[in-house]
């Protein structure tokens, strides 16, 4: 809303300056204009009709009187004038020189040519009641003997009609306008009140009360609809804030633990270390734990980065079998060290749409977990196969597995099953994989029960031609 210029001393009330009120003014103006136009039309049509009717009468009478014999003519004029209680008839007979012979007209009207259609003139009426100037429609005819006959009719009736219309306007238009202005002001005040209520609520929300919602009146008006939309948005924001708060608690917990250990270790080292190597070993331990905390932060930021990156941004065609083989190559020695039988197979050579580095990271994370949780002399399988028209990366280990109740939790940040408390890890691996799968639109499934099986199912683009013939069903049925 614009601010009144500094020079203006009077500020209009708030409700007058609202858009609603301005629109009311515009609407009232338009209404008034329409009413004026309508009344004007009615007046114009009526006046035209009445005038035409008067003119017809005048023409008829003048022809009749003019056609009568001279002696009958004076009588006809008298008769015509005598039967006129409303005193609207006018008639006059004038000599060729313009001198008055008979009738109630004082003189031959100026600007009234003879033998033309009736027209509007100003005349002076004289009769028993005196002398009066009137506006009239009149027609003049020159008679055979040179005299001029004037027949007229007072049309003050028309002015009367105009006055009636004016009065109707006064009684109709002014109250209507006033009413519409009042209605506008009321609407404006009401809208303003609702804005004020909403503003109060919003201020409370800004102040941190996220449970607050905008009021609705169940009226299904635009204001209510807007409030419903905003409330929906607030629901979403509240849920998000709560989840962030939850994640924050998790972060605080998992960061505080190593940091507390660092602090205790350093304190103890400071008190008890006797030699430099003693102190160094304490400091080394502290640095190791700090690195762990930093790794947690890095991993969290990484998940956030993946969750917030836009899909397809930097996506390309990825040969998934190559990724699987590379991960296998990277983890083979680690598995071997633990005497774990590590089997890597790729039955198909699919091309998927995705971010190669992220897909590598996801598969590597799953293999990392599998190797970590499998006991010595166990086995881990990394396989790429086809199922229906999608390809599946499957990682199976011989570890303790995940119970059904824990299955949904493991993809959550920081969740580590009780079984894994003694194994190194940040508890972020699966949530990272989950974020990557989500970004790609792939499906991540984790089996429950012993010997965990994790699968990433992805729709593949094409089967890259391979040296070995692909399985028969692979080429035909899949698409």
Partner 1 sequence: MAKVLLIEDDGETATEIMAELVGRGFEVDWAATGIDGLDKARRGEPDVMIVDRLLPGMDGLTIIEALRKDDVRTPVLILSALGAVHDRVRGLRTGSNDYLTKPFAIIELVARIEALLRQPADNRDTTLRVGPLELDLLSRTAKRAGRPVELLPREFRLLEYMMRRKDQLLTRAMLFEEVWNYKFVPQTNLVDVHMGRLRHKVDKPNESPMIYNVRGAGFILRAPA
3-state secondary structure of 374: coil
- Residues sharing a CB contact under 8 Å with residue 14, sequence separation 6 or more, in sequence order: 192
**Strand-strand pairing, 390-397 and 379-387:** antiparallel
**CA gap 434, 391 in Å, rounded:** 17
Please say whether the beta carbons of 403 and 446 come within 8 A: no
Report the 10 Å Cβ neighbour count for 432: 22
Task: Please list every residue from 273 through 292 that binds partner 1, using CB under 8 A.
Answer: 284, 287, 291
In the bound state with partner 1, the residue whose beta carbon lies nearer, of 362 and 384, is 362
The dihedrals phi and psi of 24, each to the nearest 5 degrees, come to: -60, -45
By CB under 8 A, residue 221 contacts partner 1: no
Please say whether the beta carbons of 457 and 390 come within 8 A: yes
Whole-number minimum distance, CB 409 to partner 1, in Å?
19
Task: Please list every residue from 322 through 361 that binds partner 1, using CB under 8 A.
Answer: 329-331, 333-334, 337, 357, 360-361
Whole-number minimum distance, CB 290 to partner 1, in Å?
8
Task: Please list every residue from 427 through 466 that binds partner 1, using CB under 8 A.
Answer: 429
- Residues sharing a CB contact under 8 Å with residue 205, sequence separation 6 or more, in sequence order: 212, 234
Binding pattern for the stretch 367-406 against partner 1, x by CB under 8 A and - elsewhere: -x--xx----------------------------------
Contact with partner 1 (CB under 8 A): which of 215, 269, 400, 425? Answer: 425
In the bound state with partner 1, the residue whose beta carbon lies nearer, of 184 and 427, is 427
Q: Give how many residues touch partner 1 by CB under 8 A.
A: 29
Binding pattern for the stretch 290-329 against partner 1, x by CB under 8 A and - elsewhere: -x--xx--xx-xx--x---x-------------------x
By CB under 8 A, residue 364 contacts partner 1: yes
Task: Please list every residue from 89 through 118 that binds partner 1, using CB under 8 A.
Answer: none
**CA gap 75, 102 in Å, rounded:** 10
In the bound state with partner 1, the residue whose beta carbon lies nearer, of 106 and 332, is 332
In the bound state with partner 1, the residue whose beta carbon lies nearer, of 348 and 430, is 430
Class of residue 471 by CB neighbours under 10 A (exposed 0-12, middle 13-18, buried 19+)? middle
- Residues sharing a CB contact under 8 Å with residue 326, sequence separation 6 or more, in sequence order: 360
Which residues of this chain interact with partner 1, rule CB under 8 A?
284, 287, 291, 294-295, 298-299, 301-302, 305, 309, 329-331, 333-334, 337, 357, 360-361, 364-365, 368, 371-372, 424-426, 429
């Amino acid at each position: 809303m614009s601010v009144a210029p500094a020079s203006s001393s009077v500020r209009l009330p708030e409700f007058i300056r609202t858009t609603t009120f301005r629109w009311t003014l515009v609407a009232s103006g338009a209404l008034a204009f329409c009413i004026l136009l309508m009344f004007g039309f009615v007046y114009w049509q009526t006046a035209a009709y009445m005038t035409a009717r008067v003119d017809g009468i005048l023409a008829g009478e003048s022809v009749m009187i003019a056609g009568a014999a001279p002696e009958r003519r004076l009588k006809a004029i008298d008769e015509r004038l005598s039967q006129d209680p409303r005193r609207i008839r006018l008639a006059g007979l004038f000599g060729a020189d313009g001198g008055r012979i008979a009738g109630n007209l004082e003189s031959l009207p100026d600007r009234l040519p003879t033998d033309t259609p009736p027209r509007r003139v100003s005349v002076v009426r004289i009769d028993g009641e005196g002398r009066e100037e009137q506006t009239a429609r009149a027609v003049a005819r020159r008679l055979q003997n040179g005299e001029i006959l004037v027949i007229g009719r007072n049309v003050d009736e028309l002015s009367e009609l105009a006055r009636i219309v004016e009065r109707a306007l006064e009684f109709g238009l002014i109250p209507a306008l006033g009413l519409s202005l009042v209605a506008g002001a009321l609407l404006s005040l009401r809208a303003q009140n609702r804005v004020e209520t909403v503003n109060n609520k919003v201020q409370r929300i800004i102040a941190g009360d996220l449970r607050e919602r905008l009021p609705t009146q169940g009226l299904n008006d635009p204001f209510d609809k807007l409030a419903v939309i905003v409330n929906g948005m607030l629901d979403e924001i509240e849920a998000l804030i709560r989840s962030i708060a939850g994640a924050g608690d998790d972060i605080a917990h998992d960061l505080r633990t190593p940091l507390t250990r660092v602090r205790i270790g350093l304190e103890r080292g400071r008190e008890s270390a006797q030699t430099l190597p003693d102190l160094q070993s304490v400091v080394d331990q502290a640095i190791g734990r700090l690195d762990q905390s930093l790794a947690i932060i890095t991993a969290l930021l990484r998940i956030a980065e993946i969750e917030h990156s836009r899909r397809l941004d930097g996506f390309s065609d990825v040969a998934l079998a190559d990724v699987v083989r590379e991960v296998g190559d990277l983890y083979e020695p680690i598995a071997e060290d633990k005497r774990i039988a590590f089997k890597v197979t790729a039955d198909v050579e699919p091309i998927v749409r995705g971010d190669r580095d992220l897909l590598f990271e996801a598969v590597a994370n799953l293999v990392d977990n599998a190797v970590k949780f499998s006991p010595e002399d166990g086995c881990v399988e990394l396989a790429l196969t086809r199922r229906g028209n999608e390809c599946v990366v499957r990682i199976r280990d011989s570890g303790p597995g995940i119970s059904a109740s824990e299955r949904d939790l493991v993809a959550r940040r920081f969740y580590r099953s009780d079984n894994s408390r003694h194994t190194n890890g940040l508890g972020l691996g699966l949530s990272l994989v989950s974020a990557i799968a989500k970004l790609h639109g792939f499906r991540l499934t984790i089996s429950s029960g012993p010997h965990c099986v994790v699968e990433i199912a992805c729709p593949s683009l094409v089967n890259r031609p391979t040296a070995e013939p692909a399985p028969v069903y692979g080429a035909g049925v899949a698409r």
